[in-house]
């Protein structure tokens, strides 16, 4: 289970759960599903079930052994709030995050309705950041669910951005990440869509992080917007 991450907005990953299932168009070309397939073919025991949801109880306390503070993306290879992850297991993940208060934990979900329900029953220490994926205007309701969560930082991952989002209500949101889809089957993202979200973030005074343009060769398309790289982070205190 990889500890270091190449994801631009985090430093490490922690995967006490692997595997997921598709719930919306943003899942169509899931990178985690492709990676799980490769790891299974390589004989990695953690992925013996492929991309079926699999719990890894032996990894629940792994961050406690990482003494140097770091930003940790929780379940980069799954969704913590998947319906096949028991409530009790989710609560154990939160127990570890609360105990390991020298780290910053970043959780991201498309299952915001379950998040909203469970949020009332767990402790949200200040080092736990909670995000929702919103790939188009059809999923703005996830932001409403997220707003009800008492996390110190609530953020949006607008990736892959699949259409314009002209009315993005950022009340109670502390950070926005935007990115295009990558890979051979990637769907296009128009620059006007990105610029529209950037302007809304500026108007709302919300930090803006531009992850990538994406495409079949994201190394060529790069990360620059308006001639520069945007890597703004939320203000915490």
Across 143-171, average pLDDT: 98
Domain count, the chain: 1
In a domain, 236, yes or no: no
Q: Is the pLDDT of residue 1 over 70?
A: no
Q: Which two tokens stand for residue 149?
A: 């969560």
Across 98-115, average pLDDT: 98
In a domain, 137, yes or no: yes
In a domain, 53, yes or no: yes
Query: Distance (Å, rounded) from C-alpha 73 to C-alpha 179?
Result: 17
Determine contact, residues 159/186, Cβ cutoff 8 Å. Answer: no
Instruction: With CA atoms as reference, report the closest residue to 144 among 166, 106, 115.
Output: 115
Q: What is the pLDDT of residues 11-65, one digit of tens each?
A: 999 999 999 999 999 999 999 999 999 999 999 999 999 999 999 999 999 999 9
Q: Is the pLDDT of residue 5 over 90?
A: no
pLDDT of residue 237: 65
Residues 6 or more apart whose CB falls under 8 angstroms from that of 153 comprise 129, 130, 174, 175, 234, 236
Q: What angle do CA 185, 107, 193 make, to 5 degrees?
A: 45
Residues 6 or more apart whose CB falls under 8 angstroms from that of 2 comprise 13
**pLDDT classification of 2: cutoffs 50, 70, 90:** very low
In a domain, 225, yes or no: yes
In a domain, 2, yes or no: no
Question: What's 223's domain CATH number?
Answer: 3.80.30
pTM, entire model: 0.96
In a domain, 60, yes or no: yes
Chain-centroid distance of CA 118 in Å reads 18
In a domain, 23, yes or no: yes
**pLDDT classification of 6: cutoffs 50, 70, 90:** confident
Across 112-131, average pLDDT: 98
Determine contact, residues 97/74, Cβ cutoff 8 Å. Answer: yes
Across 218-224, average pLDDT: 94
Across 165-194, average pLDDT: 97
In a domain, 234, yes or no: no
Alpha-carbon distances, residue 106 vs 28, 34, 215, 219 (angstroms):
23, 22, 25, 25
Would you give the end-to-end CA distance of the chain in angstroms? 31
Across 97-111, average pLDDT: 98
Q: What is the pLDDT of residues 190-219, one digit of tens each?
A: 999 999 999 999 999 999 999 999 999 999
Across 160-179, average pLDDT: 98
Domain range for 201: 12-229
């Amino acid at each position: 289970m990889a500890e270091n991450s190449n994801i631009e907005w985090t430093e490490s990953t922690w995967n006490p759960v692997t595997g997921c299932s598709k719930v919306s168009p943003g899942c169509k070309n899931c990178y985690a599903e492709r990676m799980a397939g490769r790891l299974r073919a390589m004989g990695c025991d953690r992925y013996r079930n492929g991309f079926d949801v699999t719990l890894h109880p032996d990894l629940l306390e792994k961050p406690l052994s990482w003494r140097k503070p770091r930003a940790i993306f929780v379940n980069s290879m799954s969704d913590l709030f998947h319906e096949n992850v028991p409530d009790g297991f989710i609560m154990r993940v939160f127990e570890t995050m609360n105990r390991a208060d020298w780290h910053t934990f970043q959780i991201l979900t498309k299952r915001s309705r379950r998040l909203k329900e469970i949020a009332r029953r767990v402790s949200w220490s200040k080092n736990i950041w909670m995000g929702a994926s919103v790939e188009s205007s059809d999923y703005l309701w996830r932001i409403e669910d997220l707003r009800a969560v008492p996390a110190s930082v609530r953020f949006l991952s607008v990736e892959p951005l699949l259409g314009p989002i002209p009315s993005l209500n950022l009340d109670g949101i502390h950070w926005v990440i935007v990115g295009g889809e990558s890979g051979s089957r990637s769907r296009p993202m128009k620059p006007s869509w990105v610029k529209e979200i950037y302007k809304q973030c500026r108007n709302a005074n919300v930090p803006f992080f531009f992850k990538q343009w994406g495409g079949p060769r994201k190394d060529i398309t790069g990360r620059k917007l308006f001639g520069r790289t945007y890597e703004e982070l939320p203000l915490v205190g």
